């Protein structure tokens, strides 16, 4: 199966995950690719500005988007 995203690729959330305090557009790194029953899921790791892990969660492929050139990264305080 051809994957849309690769291991350790940076991606953006395509939708908010309010249960984790995450917003659409937050940046994450793919740390695991999960294939089950012809569906692909991804374990994402979210980091703070010091590089420390904040959250690791699993999402569907439709919940993430590729990082595009010329985007501005914005740091914000995590609100849970």
Query: Does residue 54 belong to any structural domain of this protein?
Result: yes
SS (H, E, C) the chain: CCCCCCCCCEEEECCCEHHHCECCCCEEEEEEEEEECCEEEEEEEEECCCCCEEEEEEEEHHHEEECCCCCCCCCCCCCC
Query: Does residue 73 belong to any structural domain of this protein?
Result: no
Supply the pLDDT for residue 62: 95
pLDDT tops 60 at residue 1 = no
pTM of the model: 0.89
Query: Does residue 20 belong to any structural domain of this protein?
Result: yes
Domain count, the chain: 1
Domain that holds residue 48: 10-66
Query: Does residue 5 belong to any structural domain of this protein?
Result: no
Supply the pLDDT for residue 79: 80
Q: What is the mean pLDDT of residues 54-61?
A: 96
CATH number of the domain residue 26 falls in: 2.30.30
Query: How confident is the model over 18-51, as pLDDT tens digits?
Result: 999 999 999 999 999 999 888 899 999 999 999 9
pLDDT band at 57 (very low <50, low <70, confident <90, very high): very high
Query: Does residue 77 belong to any structural domain of this protein?
Result: no
* Residues present in the chain in total: 80
Query: Does residue 72 belong to any structural domain of this protein?
Result: no
């Amino acid at each position: 199966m051809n994957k849309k995203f690769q291991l350790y690729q940076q991606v953006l959330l395509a939708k908010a995950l309010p249960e984790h305090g995450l917003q659409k557009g937050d940046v994450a790194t793919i740390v695991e690719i999960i294939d089950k029953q012809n569906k692909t899921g991804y374990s994402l790791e979210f980091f703070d500005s010091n590089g420390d892990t904040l959250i690791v969660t699993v999402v569907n492929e439709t919940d993430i988007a590729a990082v595009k050139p010329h985007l501005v990264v914005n740091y914000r305080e995590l609100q849970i």
